Structure 1
Amino acid sequence: MPNAKWSSPVEVGFAHKASQTVQGPFDALICLMDTWPDMRGPRYVAARSFCRAAIEGRKSPEEAREVFISAAKEAKLRTH
């Protein structure tokens, strides 16, 4: 389900650029791989895994959303 969307988008604020609106697991995976400031934390790794699983239909998009928000908190990023 690469086009799966979350019930509510997540806006992530980065220190080095403007905020980014993330609509679903595919957007989140791109954000995690291209923009994320710290690619070593356990929640970051879990978020990548959950987003991939949601894209492949093995996890729900909402499960991936929760783990993505958790990774943002781990990285000390603002979310709305």
Structure 2
Amino acid sequence: MSEKWSKPVEVAFGVSGYRTVTGPFDAMIVLTDLWPKRSGLRFIKARNACSAAIAGRIGAEDARREFLAAAEEAELSTH
């Protein structure tokens, strides 16, 4: 399993509520199952970064930055 992020990200999904994302593996699940906008450039970059982090090709914090950028692109609130 991939490493965890130094600080989890809480993402608001409207009526679906909040989801706490603790690392690249959780992020891939959220990106696959809950993401509202799957065609944006930041979404694609986040998905690729999380996949690379799971495989150990990049650091988990790099994937976290891409995930946050994708959330901003999708206009999702994060904490």
Cα distance in 2 for residues equivalent to 1:67 and 1:22: 13
Cα distance in 1 for residues equivalent to 2:42 and 2:74: 9
Scaled by the length of structure 1, what TM-score is found?
0.96
- Larger % of helix: which? 2
String of CA shifts for 1:25-55, please: whole Å, max 9, x gaps: 0000000000000100000000000000000
What 5-or-longer segments of structure 2 have no aligned partner? Answer: none
- AA partner of residue 18 (structure 2): S
> 4+ residue stretches of structure 1 with deviation over 2 A?
none
SS of alignment partner, residue 54 of structure 1: helix
Give the % identical residues: 52
Scaled by the length of structure 2, what TM-score is found?
0.97
- Contact 2:10/2:18 (<8 A) preserved: yes
1:60-79 to structure 2, matched below 5 A, reads 60-79=59-78
Task: Tell me the equivalent position of 1:48.
Answer: 47
Name the count of aligned residue pairs.
Answer: 79
- AA partner of residue 65 (structure 2): E
1:1-80 to structure 2, matched below 5 A, reads 2-80=1-79
